[in-house]
Structure formats: structure tokens, C-alpha cells
């Protein structure tokens, strides 16, 4: 049976990677084969493109060119990592995916939604997430959390944007959650971390029953 594809989305500092890791651990304790990954990146080719984007060297090319770069990275990630894992029955947990392109480059970057949809059709095709958690915190709070996390190291290409950009991102993610309620579950990520993790776990159990997933000793380690 094909594995489940679960993505985590939201603005900066919303705790996506923490909660992806917590869900991965919990699923593994049930013997579910899990591969935890992230975008941009997650495969060799995509990690190289990640560096090009987040260093800011592609910024002068404009948001449309950045959308194309994210799509190219995603194409490699899907071909070499995500689809093969799903086919083996491994569950893939991905920190950011195509919704980030819709919101960062589409909503906040003003790239024509038709271009975003076309890229998604070409690159993602049928490999759509089964479930997407949208972690929500007020933009200013998220920026504060992200700054604390990175400490002395400098802000990346998107962390460096002004508060108004991050507020636009938040609105974009809220809109997405409202428009696709069957796939997207909105989570109030200002709640205590354990409560957020519990809500995510409960949702996963309601949607899919991990105890019936085939055990994957090999996949559980990946
Ligand atoms: P990362 O360090 O992984 O940040 P975060 O912890 O916030 O996920 O950096 C990824 C950045 O790239 C983040 O600012 C969001 C942005 N991004 C896009 O703009 N479009 C995309 O399609 C993706 C996947 C990420």
C-alpha cells in the first residue's frame, strides 16, 4: 500500500520542523516506516538549489524565477526521494511543500496564480499531500521565534523581509486552510507545544489508522 504523504506548512517560526519530528517519532513507535524531509531540499539536487535560493543570489531575478527554482528543486525531491518512498509504503513527512510556493511566491510575491498552478501541475502532478497541517502564529510572534532560533547567524532570504510581507504570508496560509478544508487542518501554534503535538497526533489517527500500516523495519530508520 502506498505510504501517506503529510506536509507541514506555515510562516516563519511556527514550529513545523519540531512537530514533523515529533510525529515521525510517534509513528515509528508504531512500527510505521517514516521518512522525514524538508523543502527546499531533501535530495542532493534540491539541496544545491536550496543554497542558491536562500543565500539570496536569485532574489534579483524576481519572484517568478524563484518560483521556478523552487519547482525545479521539488521535481528532484519528488523523483528521487518522495515518490520512491511512498511506493515502498513509507510515510513521508515534509516540512514545507507546494503550498509554500503558492503562498510565498504567489500571494506574497505576486506571481500570477496561473503560473503557480502550471508549475504545480507539471511538477507535483498526482503526488498531492494526503494531509497538510497549517501551523498558525501571529506574524510578529513567528518572526521573534525565528530570530531567537537562529541566534547570531544572519537572516535568510525570506526571514529578512519586512513584517508586512510576513503578515501577507499568514493571511495566505489562513486563506488556503479555508479553501481546502478536506486536506488542510489549521493548528493554533501559539498553544503549548505538547497540546499542538497532541492535536496533530489525534488528527492523524482520525484520518488514517497508523496501527494498521505495514511495519517497515528498513523504512523506520530512514
Ligand atoms: P527554512 O530555513 O527551511 O525555513 P523554515 O524553517 O521557515 O521552513 O527556509 C525555507 C524558506 O524558503 C522559508 O522562508 C520559506 C521559503 N520557501 C518559499 O518561499 N517557497 C517554497 O516553495 C518553499 C518550499 C520555501
Spatial neighbors of 194 by CB under 8 A, at least 6 apart, are: none
CA distance 75 to 55: 20
For residue 213, the cross-strand partners are none
Please give the number of the atom of ligand 1 that sits closest to the Cα of 11: 7
Instruction: Determine the pLDDT at residue 212.
Output: 75
Centre of ligand 1 to C-alpha 48, Å, is 14
Ligand 1 close to Cβ of residue 96 (< 6 A): yes
Centre of ligand 1 to C-alpha 70, Å, is 9
Ligand 1 close to Cβ of residue 40 (< 6 A): yes
Instruction: Determine the pLDDT at residue 207.
Output: 94
Centre of ligand 1 to C-alpha 115, Å, is 19
Among 131, 132, 138, CA closest to 170? 138
Instruction: At 159, list the grid cell.
Output: 526571514
CA distance 123 to 165: 26
Please name each of the domains of the chain with its CATH number.
Answer: 5-212 (3.40.50.300)
Instruction: Determine the pLDDT at residue 211.
Output: 79
For residue 8, the cross-strand partners are 95, 133
Global pTM? 0.95
Sign of CA dihedral 7, 13, 19, 22: positive
Ligand 1 close to Cβ of residue 100 (< 6 A): yes
Instruction: Determine the pLDDT at residue 216.
Output: 63
Among 11, 168, 193, 204, CA closest to 91? 204
pLDDT per residue rounded down to tens, the chain (222 residues): 899 999 999 999 999 999 999 999 999 999 999 999 999 999 999 999 999 999 999 999 999 999 999 999 999 999 999 999 999 999 999 999 999 999 999 999 999 999 999 999 999 999 999 999 999 999 999 999 999 998 888 889 999 899 999 999 999 999 999 999 999 999 999 999 999 999 999 999 999 978 777 666 544 444
Centre of ligand 1 to C-alpha 61, Å, is 17
Q: Is residue 75 within 8 Å of 123, Cβ to Cβ?
A: yes
Amino acid at each position: 500500500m502506498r505510504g501517506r504523504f503529510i506536509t507541514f506548512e506555515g510562516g516563519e517560526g511556527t514550529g513545523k520542523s519540531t512537530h514533523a519530528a515529533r510525529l515521525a517519532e510517534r509513528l515509528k513507535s508504531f512500527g510505521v516506516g517514516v521518512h522525514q524531509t524538508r523543502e527546499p531540499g531533501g535530495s542532493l539536487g534540491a539541496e544545491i538549489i536550496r543554497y542558491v535560493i536562500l543565500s539570496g543570489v536569485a532574489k534579483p531575478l524576481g519572484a517568478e524565477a524563484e518560483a521556478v527554482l523552487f519547482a525545479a528543486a521539488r521535481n528532484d525531491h519528488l523523483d528521487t526521494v518522495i515518490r520512491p518512498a511512498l511506493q515502498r509504503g513509507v510515510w513521508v513527512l515534509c516540512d514545507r511543500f507546494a503550498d509554500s510556493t503558492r503562498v510565498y511566491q504567489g500571494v506574497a510575491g505576486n506571481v500570477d496564480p496561473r503560473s503557480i498552478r502550471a508549475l504545480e501541475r507539471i511538477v507535483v502532478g498526482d503526488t498531492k499531500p494526503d494531509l497538510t497541517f497549517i501551523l498558525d502564529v501571529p506574524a510578529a510572534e513567528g518572526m521573534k521565534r525565528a530570530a531567537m532560533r537562529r541566534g547570531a547567524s544572519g537572516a535568510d532570504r525570506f526571514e529578512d523581509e519586512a513584517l508586512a510581507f510576513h503578515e501577507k504570508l499568514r493571511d495566505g496560509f489562513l486563506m488556503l486552510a479555508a479553501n481546502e478544508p478536506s486536506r488542510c487542518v489549521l493548528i493554533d501554534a501559539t498553544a503549548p507545544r505538547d497540546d499542538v503535538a497532541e492535536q496533530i497526533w489525534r488528527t492523524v489517527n482520525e484520518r488514517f489508522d497508523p496501527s494498521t500500516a505495514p511495519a517497515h523495519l528498513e523504512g523506520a530508520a530512514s
